[in-house]
């Protein structure tokens, strides 16, 4: 997923404010769901939703206004009711940040952890 740093995402040190990296990861997750299943809504229609349980962000190099970034999403682990994704924020040749997020699948009605349909889980294993 490509994205360009917006002016107002930079703080007075002239670098992307740290909280925005989580927003970038969120956007990359949405883009991944879209690529795999057509849309985020298509996942919800199957009766399951992804809830963020934990995120770890390592800041490796600052990004600046107008930088053209690429967020690479990969599956780190597929559990029974959980999913761990890794988002690597690339800024040209540099890795700017690594975000590892653990999600829990929950029922859209119950809001309780559930195992997702097999084909959905398989899509992340592939």
Write phi, then psi, for 94 (nearest 5 degrees).
-100, 145
Which residues share a beta bridge with 16?
10
35 binds a second copy (CB under 8 A): no
45 binds a second copy (CB under 8 A): no
- How far is C-alpha 124 from the chain's CA centre? 13
Residue from 45, 66, 68, 119 in contact with a second copy (CB under 8 A): 66
61 binds a second copy (CB under 8 A): no
Which residues share a beta bridge with 70?
2, 90
Residue from 2, 12, 109, 126 in contact with a second copy (CB under 8 A): 12
Residue from 42, 45, 46, 52 in contact with a second copy (CB under 8 A): 52
How many other C-beta atoms are found inside a 10 Å radius of the C-beta of residue 74? 11
Residue from 36, 57, 70, 84 in contact with a second copy (CB under 8 A): 57
30 binds a second copy (CB under 8 A): yes
74 binds a second copy (CB under 8 A): no
Residue (60 or 122) nearer to a second copy, CB: 60
Q: Quick one: DSSP state of residue 38?
A: S
Distance (Å, whole) CA 77 – CA 16: 29
């Amino acid at each position: 997923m490509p994205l360009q740093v917006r002016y107002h995402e930079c703080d007075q040190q002239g670098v992307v404010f740290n909280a925005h990296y989580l927003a970038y990861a969120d956007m990359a997750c949405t883009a991944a769901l879209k690529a795999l299943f057509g849309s985020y809504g298509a996942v919800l229609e199957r009766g399951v939703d992804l809830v963020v349980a934990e995120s770890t962000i390592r800041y490796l190099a600052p990004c600046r206004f107008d930088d053209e970034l690429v967020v690479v999403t990969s599956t780190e682990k597929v559990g029974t009711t959980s999913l761990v994704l890794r988002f690597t924020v690339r800024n040209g040749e540099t890795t700017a940040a690594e975000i590892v997020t653990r999600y829990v699948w929950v029922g859209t009605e119950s809001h309780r952890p559930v195992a997702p349909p097999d084909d959905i889980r398989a899509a992340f294993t592939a």
